[in-house]
Structure formats: structure tokens, C-alpha cells
Amino acid sequence: MGSVLKKWKLPAIMLGPFIVLIFLFFFLPVVLIAILAFTSMDSAMRWDFNGLANFQKLVTDPNILLIVKNTVIYVGFTLLINVFFGLVLGILTTYFIQKESVGLFFRTIWMLPRISPPVVYVLLWLWFFDPSEYGVLNSLRAIFHMPPKEWLTTHPMVAVILANGLIGASFGMIIFSSAIKSIPKDLFYAANVDGASQWSIIKDIIIPAMRWPLMFVTLWQFLSLLTSYEYILLLTNGGPLFESEVLALYSYHKAFRNFEFGYGSAISLVLVLIALIFSFIMWKLFGMKKMMGSSRIE
Amino acid sequence: MKKITASVLSTFILAMGILSGCGKTDQSVGSESNEDKSKVVTIEAQTAAPEITRVENLEKAAEKLNEELKQQGKDIRVKVKTNLFEGSWEEYAKQFMLAFKAKKEPDIYATGHENIGWLADGNYILPLDELKKSKEYSDVFSTLWDSVTYKGHIWGALQDTEARPVFYNKDVLRKLGWSEEQINNLPEKVKNGEFTLDDMTKLAEEAEAKGLVQFGIIHRPVDGPDFHVMVYNFGGKLYDPEENKIVLDKKAVEKQLNYYYEIAQKKLIPGNLTQMEWSSIHKAVVNGKALFYYGGIWNVFNWSQDNFHEKLGKVDEKWINEHFGMMLIPAAEKGGKPITLSHPFVYTVSSQTEHLELVKRLLELVANPALQAEHDVKTFHLPVTKSAAEHPDFKANETLGNVTYMLEYTTFIPNHEGFPKYSKAVFDAIQAVELGKKTPKEALKDLEVQLKNDLGDQLKIVE
């Protein structure tokens, strides 16, 4: 007994506060959502259990097909921009710009939107897409004598994907840059001596060395995109109609605009399930466990 | 080792400190004593921006209440703590809901009458049936009581009401060749049912075709009570009080959707109207870019608060009356009755208040005609009692005097708890037909499915 206590005392002290935090702010909300999803809680805030009624309502919801379609498009394309663009930025600022200070300067610029508050960042996009002749895009059109267009009305999903994709790319950029830096320089020297082309250096040295960061960024961004809605909320608020509404935003709207807390929770619970299933598939499919081991290059 | 343990412990203590800081901070306790040894009771009151007079009047009423208490020899004094909320109506409702659960809600919550349904159903507020019998409320315009009645009880103290007229741009009509007399007679023609909704659309088309305005008609850009007045105008119903159900009157709603479809197809409204910001709406109207505007009398107040006019900036009442007229919403049929909708603002009382008797007396005193008149004139609203309408300060105001007759043509949206969902769904349908994404028939079909899903057995469908 004494030895067990001795063995676990330090870990308990070290991890205790974080376990409490994780329990309070990560685990408890999921449990609460899971319970709320089976109630008809509305503005009266009463815990009236109603079985599967919320899920039946979700299936018969006339907007649900469109919203699921939007979610797939939003997550898919944003993820593509996030990962691919992040990779391009990482390679550009680390491999092609060898001087550390210059690379750092460009990376810092790309990090700026992430540091600025979402409202400010979205405000810039709103100005970019502004329907009046003063919007950035429309003033560009004006040079060619074209009439102003209502971008956010006609192409809401494009706007949402661009805004989210560009800000998200900086996350991949940071992870990929550090991964590229950790590749031993000898490999590049050897490749250059052998006369390898730039493309083959990227294809045969850099990318294979980054399988784990690539997978990590993809999974991480996938999970955060699935549940993120703040930029959509600020940019189009899901509109016009439901054209840029995604599941996470729909849950928010149902809970906090219509005050259908039970129904909103049911939608959230579906999202939690989707996230869990995908995490499990990716874990199994891509052998994450193996990849989390030490790098095979060194 | 010791060092590590110490640093871990200090981190832990720090974390606990931060966590406990997140918890409930003690509110200033309601009772404290002042120099004349009487107990001070703090009553909290909250309203939404920008009409701060709604709570300031309560502060003034508290002065009178304190005099009364002094005369009665009671050792209690009332202090009103006011709070002005800035944000959307949904946030305002949400904030009260959460504050109530945390027992931090105001004693008096001023809100639109249509919120009574969910507030009463959720036991957030108390019935105030006695108010109807009180002397101060004895001369309320009787139809207004309907707006605070729900399930047979009175749930709010009427604070003010308004008219939602259609503003018409006099300059544009002048350019169309109308004489001053014709222009000033338009409200009368609307009142008599000679000038109908169709005439309004045609006139808007004419002004736009001649290049006098960019938009023939502008309505509010976001969900709100105004849209539902068209259901009444087309002879429909929104609520069945006997069954306490929301009504989807399919014939009337189809006509309602047809109307918005028509004005959008004829390009009388801005193409992205439902995506526009309020400030752009005000700017377009004030700068004469539209002939008709489905507005509210309080817009006169809004336009004097912000620089909406490109050259003049803030515009005063006199300027507005020179350039704009106000009329009822024209009747849908020739000879029919024109219509408008009012949205009385009410004081509701939290069911968790500890000072119910004092709050009730305060709400009686705040109906004082002078206080009402001051608020109404400052913020361009209409009084709820006849004595306030007769008050010299109110009568001196030309704009308000010109629209007081509209109260005879007024209607209300229902107080039912499910109405916000109905309203949101109808707004979506209107948006869909205006953007040309659906025809009125398609939109109505989808609306029916949506409402059945959202409201379930709270909905009654009238074919």
C-alpha cells in the first residue's frame, strides 16, 4: 500500500489539476449534451425526458439534407486548403527560404490572422466581399466597368471555405515547418550531389518524412472543423436561408436562437458520434500508433 | 524534490484560485442602511438599448414611491438600479434566461409583449392581474390589454406602444407631379381604403421606372413582427386563443408570400435586402433612395441619433416631416380597412423577486402621464393610457399626434411561446421567395413541413 502511494503521489499531484480541468470542461459537457439530447428542454429550461423524439425530429427536419451536404463540402474543401496550403507554405518558408529570419518573417505574417480576434478577421472578409461598390472585390470589378456583385448572397460557401481555409493553413504551416527542419541536412546535401530535381527532393525526401505530421494535421483540423462555426456565424450566419449552414452552426442556432436546447444537444451529440467514429477509423486505418513512435529517419 | 512539490502545490493553489474566481461573485446585497436609519431596498430593472428612458422612468417613480413610504412612516427606501442591454433581441432573451437560473436576474425585465408566452410558461415571471384594477392603469387603451394577456392572466405592465407606419418620400411624389395637397392627403386616402396595396406597388414601380428612386419599397432586413401584419391584411389569423395554438392560415400566408415575391420580382426592393445591415436601410431611406419604407415611428428617434444623411448627418423631426409622410399599411382590397401592427413594450416581474409589493407599486407609479409623455416624446413612441395621450407635452409633438389615430387600426402578434419559431420560419420563406430561390407555392409547402416539425402539436393548420 505504502509503495503504491509513493509511486503515484507525484503523478497525482502533477496531473491532478489537469485531470480535474479536463473532466470539468471536456468530459462533463459531453455527458451533459448526451443527457440533454433526450429531453425537450426549451426556454422554460425543464428536464422533461422525451425519448428519441429529438432524433426523429432531426431525421424529418426539412433542412437536414442540405445542412449535411454543406457540412461535407465545408469540412472537405476547407481541410484540403488547410493541409495542402499549409504544406506549400511550410515547404516555401523552410526549404526554399533557407535563411531562418526571412522564413520566420513570412510565417509570422501568416500567423497574424490567427492572433487577431475572429471578429476583426471576419470584418476584413466582409469588407472584401462587401456588396456595395466599395467592397474590395467589387472595386476591382469596377476597374473593368463591371457592376458590383452580392458575393455573400451568390457564393456563400466559397466565402466561408476561403475564410476558414486561409486562417487554418497557418496551423499546418507551423507543424510542417518544424517537421521539415527536423529532417537531417545530410539527406538534402546527398540529394543535391546526386543531381536530384527540386520536385524529387520534395516528393522523395520531404513528404515521406512528414507522414505523421500530415496525418496529425489532417485529423486535428478535421475534428476542429466539424465542430467549428464561429467564422461562419460571423460571416454569413448560415445564410442566405440555409445555404451555408453546417451542423455545428445549426445546433447553435436551434439551441440559442430558437431556444430548443434539447434539440440542439441532439444535433451536437450526432456530431460527437461522427467525430468519435472518424477518429477511430483514422487511428486504425493509418496506424497512428506506429507513427506516434520515434522518427525512423534518425 | 521539495522544490518540485512546492511549485506543483503553488500551481494547484493558483489554479484553484482562478477556478473559484470563475464562480459566482457576490452581488451587492440589496439591503444596506443609510443615515436616516431606514432600510434601502434595491430593485433592479433592465431594458434594451437605446430607449434608456424605460428604466430611467422607474428611477423617477422610485422617488415618488419613497415620498409615499415616508408619509406612511415606513422605514424602507427604494433604490432602482438600472441596466441597459446592448445586443440582439435573442441575446437579450438568452441573457435573462441564464441570469434567472443563476438567480442574478433583474426584478423588473422590460421586453416586447410577445415574450410573455415563454416567460410565463417557464415560470420566469409573475401574473400582475391587480394592475388592471389599479387607478393608474384604469384608462389604458382597452385593446392594449390583449397584448399582455396570456392564458387568461395579465403578465406585464404596459410601458409604451408604437405605430408602424409606411413612410413615404414626399420629394419623390413632388417630382412625380403630385401637388402638396395630394401628398398630404395620401394618409387619408389610405385610411379610407381608396389607396390600396396594389396602388402602392404601382406607384413604387412608376417612381423606379422614372429613375427617381433606386428602390420603390424597403422593409426591415431581419425577422420581426412587421411581416405578419400582412396575414391580417389578407384576412388571416395567426393564433387560436381557445386551443392556445399557433395558426398557419395557408390562404393568407400564400397571399403574403405572393406579395413579397411580387415586389422582389419587380425589383422594387434591394436584391439583398434580407442580408443588409440596419444602418444601410436607414441610410437608403433617409437619403431618399426609396419611395416607401415599412418603418416604425421610433425611426424618427433613430435618425436623429446617428449620421445617416450623407450631407446633413443627423436629421431632426422637423426635417423628417418636411421630407416624409406616414400612412397606414394600405388595405389589400379597395374599400378595405388599412392596418398596422403595434408591439407594446411591457415591464415584467421576475418570479424570484423578493420585493413584489414594492415592485408592483413602482409599476403603478411609472404609468404617470408626465413620465410616459417624456419617454414617448424623447423616443417617439405612443402612450398606453388616455391621460398620457392628453398630456400637454405629448400633445405638443406634431409627429406623434399625427399617428396616434393609427392605434385604432392596430393589431398584435400572439404571445404564444412557439411564435418566435413560426416567425423565423415565415421569415425564411419570405427570404426564399424574395431571393427567387422558391416560388410562393413551393415556399408555402416547405413552410408547412418546417412548422409541423418545429411546432408539432402547437400548430393548427387552416386550409
Query: In angstroms, what separates the C-alpha of B318 from chain A's closest C-alpha?
Result: 31
CA distance A30 to chain B (A): 20
Instruction: Quote the pLDDT of residue B4.
Output: 52
In this prediction, residue B29 has a pLDDT band, given cuts at 50, 70 and 90, of very low
**Per-residue pLDDT reduced to its tens digit, B355-391:** 999 999 999 999 999 999 999 998 889 999 989 988 9
A168: exposed, middle or buried (Cβ count in 10 Å: 0-12, 13-18, 19+):
buried
Same domain, B41 and B92: yes
State pLDDT tens for residues B87-146: 888 889 999 999 999 999 999 999 999 899 899 999 999 999 999 999 999 999 888 898
State how far the Cα of B263 lies from the Cα of B281, in Å rounded to an integer: 17
Q: What is the nearest CA distance from B233 to chain A, expressed in angstroms?
A: 26
Q: What is the pTM of this model?
A: 0.79
Assigned C-alpha cell, B263: 415586389
Q: Give residue-wise pLDDT tens across range B331-358.
A: 998 888 999 999 999 999 999 999 999 9
- Check if B420 contacts A (Cβ < 8 Å): yes
Reported as a pLDDT band with limits 50, 70 and 90, residue B26 is very low
What is the mean pLDDT of the segment spanning B8-23? 49
Nearest CA in chain B to A58: B453
- Could you say which of B11, B12, B275 has the minimum Cβ distance to residue A239? B275
What is the average pLDDT across B171-196? 94
Q: Nearest to residue B281, comparing CAs of B316, B306, B255, B254? A: B306
d(CA B352, CA B236): 39
Which pLDDT band holds residue B5 (cuts at 50, 70, 90)?
low
What is the domain extent for residue B315?
Answer: 166-341+416-462
| Digit-coded pLDDT (tens) for B237-249 | 999 988 889 999 9
pLDDT at residue B61 tops 60: yes
Question: Which residues fall within 8 angstroms of residue B229, CB to CB, at 6 or more apart?
Answer: B164, B329, B339, B340, B341, B411
**CA-to-CA distance for A238 and A231, rounded, in angstroms?**
10
Partners of B248 in the β-ladder:
B461
How far apart are the C-alpha atoms of B184 and B187, rounded to whole Å?
Answer: 7
CA B162/CA A95 separation, integer angstroms: 67
CB within 8 A of A259, min separation 6: which ones?
A: A42, A43, B93, B94, B97, B118, B420
d(CA B422, CA B236): 15
Cα–Cα distance measured from residue B379 to residue B372, given in angstroms and rounded to the nearest whole number: 11
**Does residue B23 have a pLDDT over 60?**
no
What is the mean predicted confidence (pLDDT) over B272-294? Answer: 91
- A272 with A26: CB under 8 angstroms? no
The predicted pLDDT at position A293 comes to 59
**Same domain, yes or no: B215 and B193:** yes
Question: Do B358 and B336 have their domain in common?
Answer: no
Q: Is the pLDDT of residue B251 over 90?
A: yes
Helix (H) or strand (E) holding B462: strand B459-462
Strands (E), B206-323: 215-218, 239-240, 245-249, 290-294
Interface of B with A in 338-397 (CB under 8 A): none
Per-residue model confidence (pLDDT) at position A10: 87
Distance, in Å, from the CA atom of A234 to the CA atom of A214, rounded to the nearest integer, reads: 29
Question: Which of A22-36, A284-298, B201-215, B441-455 bottoms out in mean pLDDT, i.e. has the lowest?
Answer: A284-298
Q: Given this model, what pLDDT does residue A288 score?
A: 65
* Residue B429: closest C-alpha in chain A: A241
Chain A partners of B122 at a C-beta cutoff of 8 Å? 42-46
Confidence at B13, pLDDT banded by 50, 70, 90: low
Say yes or no: B195 and B214 in one domain.
yes
- Substitution target in B4, B119, B272, B415 with the highest count of A β-carbons within 10 Å is B272
* pLDDT tens digits, B395-405: 888 888 888 88
* Beta carbons within 10 angstroms of residue A82's beta carbon: 27
B47 and B181 belong to one structural domain: no
d(CA B36, CA A99) in angstroms, rounded, equals 77
pLDDT in tens, B253-282: 999 999 999 999 999 999 888 888 888 899
Q: What is the C-alpha separation between B27 and B386, in angstroms, rounded?
A: 40
- Residue B202: pLDDT band with limits 50, 70, 90: very high
Which residues on A lie below 8 Å from B453 (Cβ)?
Answer: 57, 60-62
Q: Kindly report, residue by residue over A35-85, the tens digit of the pLDDT.
A: 999 998 888 888 888 889 899 989 988 889 999 999 999 999 999 999 999
Res. B37 pLDDT band, cuts 50 70 90: low
Residue at B27 is within a domain? no
* Beta-sheet strands, E only, within B20-112: 31-33, 39-48, 76-85, 108-112
Residue B33 above 80 pLDDT? no
Residue appearing with cell numbers 418603418: B295
For residue A248, how far is the Cα from the chain centroid? 12
Q: What percentage of chain B carries pLDDT values higher than 90?
A: 65
- Regions of chain A with pLDDT less than 50: 298
Looking at the fold, whether B453 and B364 belong to one and the same domain comes out as no
Lookup result for grid cell 437536414: A64
Distances (CA, A) of A72 to A112, A235, B236: 28, 19, 41
Query: Residue for cell digits 422590460?
Result: B110
pLDDT at B3 over 60: no
| Per-domain residue ranges of chain A | 46-291
State how many domains chain B has: 2
- B189 and B261 part of one domain: yes
β-strand B410-411 against B76-85: which pairing, if any? unpaired
Same domain? B173 vs B279: yes
Amino acid at the residue B45: A
What is the reported pLDDT for A11? 86
Per-residue confidence at B421, pLDDT binned at 50, 70, 90? Answer: confident
Looking at chain B, the whole-number percentage of residues with pLDDT higher than 70 is 92
Q: Which domain CATH number covers B132?
A: 3.40.190.10
B442-459: average pLDDT? 91
Q: Give CA torsion, residues A57, A63, A68, A70, to 10 deg.
A: -160
Under DSSP, the state recorded for A85 is I
Residues B380 and B243 in one domain: no
Tell whether B4 is within 8 A of chain A (Cβ).
yes
Are residues B189 and B283 part of one domain?
yes
Would you call the peptide bond into B50 cis, given omega within 30 degrees of 0 as the criterion?
A: yes
Place of cell 425611426: B299
- Note the pLDDT of residue B430: 95
| B442 shares a domain with B381 | no
Strand B324-327 versus strand B31-33 pairing type: unpaired
Residues of A in contact with B270 (CB under 8 A): none
Greatest C-alpha distance within chain B: 95
Task: Tell me the CATH number for domain A46-291.
Answer: 1.10.3720.10
Whether residue B272 and residue A153 make contact (CB cut-off 8 A), yes or no, is yes
* Single-letter amino acid code for the residue at A41: M
Residues B138 and B199 in one domain: no
B20 touches chain A (CB under 8 A): no
Residues facing residue B160 across a β-bridge? B345
In this prediction, residue B242 carries a pLDDT of 87
Reported ipTM: 0.72
Strand order of the β-sheet with B245-249 is B239-240, B245-249, B459-462
